[in-house]
Amino acid sequence: MYTLYGGELSLFTRKLEAALIFYKASYEFVPKAKADAALLEARSGTHQVPVLTTPENWVIADTTPIMSLLDGRFPGREMFPAGEHGVLVHILEEHLDEWIARTMVHYRWHYAESAKFASMRMSMGNEEAAARVAAWGPRACRATGTDSEQQRQAAEDEYVRMLTAAEAQLQETEFLLGDRPTALDCIVLGGLRAHTNMDPDPKRVVANFPVVVDWAERRADTWTGSGELAPLPASTAFARHLLGEMATTYVPYVLGNQAAQNAGAKAFHADIYGEEVSYLSRPYPEHSRQMVANRITALDTPEVIAELLGQYKLANAFSD
């Protein structure tokens, strides 16, 4: 039995929960607020969620390495397929993990109704605790670059474009890269289930995409374990849409963060949607970028991925 510790309004908790459902793993979900948080943090080495306890009583964190571990335990249900497909999945998952996640933060904390809903639910109705949570929200928005009205609107427009592409794709295939799920589906589902189909303000936006809503609320969880991914290099229209978005958003962000980390700087600026935007410099985006680079380096036949990275102007983002 696996135990998933986290929160129902946590993007990465719900991402890992989606994966556990796809694996058909036997698991229990426990809110971190109801667990021994100090013990979990000491054993996992982080205060962040989610944390997963394995049947042999390992306590591990970070959803991408967790799924890589679980892929070896659930053959035929891997969230990161072997070879070039696995690299494409990792590139697209990285984009959503490290870039689109800021949109979730924006929707939650820049809209009063959603901020009140989320802070009260996260605090289990304790108004004093909810006030502390709500005060943290705007700081998170500043750190992730959605402080200006221009960036807020651009983030929402970008997310709506993604939903539009997903709505069309899910009328063609069962999942976003074909007829079986991957880690990309997990992060998209995590965002919907924890944030945009949960919080009242973005939920009204997502309601305009009924196929996506049905997929998130019902259809995705009915996967039987069959199906194939769309062949490379074409993949799916949804994959091509995300790849086409990355060069002007994720790439300047992640390379700016890399430079700041190398220089020991606490913040950096990047030109995003025609505006110089300030971001908090963080070690994890560089660590996750390097994980993708390592997966590319390990390929026996990297030509297909090299062609895609060149076509979409992404090669410098994932060089060692």
50-96 per-position pLDDT tens digit: 999 999 999 999 999 999 999 999 999 999 999 999 999 999 999 99
Find the CATH number of the domain harbouring 28: 3.40.30.10
Return phi, psi of residue 120, to 5°. Answer: -70, -40
- The Cα–Cα gap between 173 and 161 comes to 18
For the chain, how many structural domains are there in total?
2
Q: Read off the pLDDT of residues 141-175 as tens digits, 9 standing for 90 and up.
A: 999 999 999 999 999 999 999 999 999 999 999 99
Please indicate, yes or no, whether residues 95 and 44 belong to a single structural domain of this protein.
no
Q: Which pairing describes strands 2-6 and 51-53: parallel, antiparallel, or unpaired?
A: antiparallel
Residues 33, 99: one domain? no
| 132's tokens | 């502390």
The answer on 64 and 160 residing in a single domain is no
End-of-domain residue from the set 43, 71, 99: 71
**What is the rounded CA–CA span in Å between residue 93 and residue 101?**
11
Q: Which residue ranges in the chain fall short of pLDDT 50?
A: none
User: Is 190 inside a domain boundary?
Assistant: yes
Identify whether residues 206 and 285 lie together within a single domain.
yes
Is there a single domain that holds both residue 111 and residue 61? no
In a domain, 76, yes or no: no
Q: How many CB atoms lie within 10 A of CB 318?
A: 23
Q: What is the pLDDT of residue 320?
A: 73
Tokens of 263: 């220089």
Last residue of a domain, one of 29, 47, 71: 71
- Final residue of a structural domain among 71, 95, 120: 71
Beta bridge partners of 31: 6
Judge if 49 and 164 occupy the same domain.
no
Contact status, residue 180 vs residue 223, Cβ threshold 8 Å: yes
Determine, yes or no, domain membership for 77.
no
Look up the domain containing 62 and give its range.
2-71
> Do 251 and 292 form a contact (C-beta atoms < 8 A)?
no
197 and 65, same domain (yes or no): no
- Tokens (6 digits) for 258: 């890399």
Does 260 map to a domain? yes
pTM over 0.85: yes
Say what the pLDDT of residue 236 is: 98
Which residue type occupies 103?
T
Q: Are residues 22 and 103 in the same domain?
A: no
196 lies in the same domain as 136: yes
pLDDT at 110: 97
Q: Are 31 and 147 in the same domain?
A: no
Sheet holding 59-61, edge to edge: 27-31, 2-6, 51-53, 59-61
Tell whether 251 and 163 lie within a shared domain.
yes
* pLDDT tens digits for range 117-129: 999 999 989 999 8
Identify whether the C-beta of residue 87 lies closer than 8 Å to the C-beta of residue 126.
no
Q: Which amino acid is at 253?
A: Y
Nearest partner of 39 among 13, 8, 5, judged by Cα: 5
Q: What type of residue is 135?
A: A
| Residue 78 falls inside a structural domain | no
N-term to C-term CA, the chain: 38
59 and 149 belong to one structural domain: no
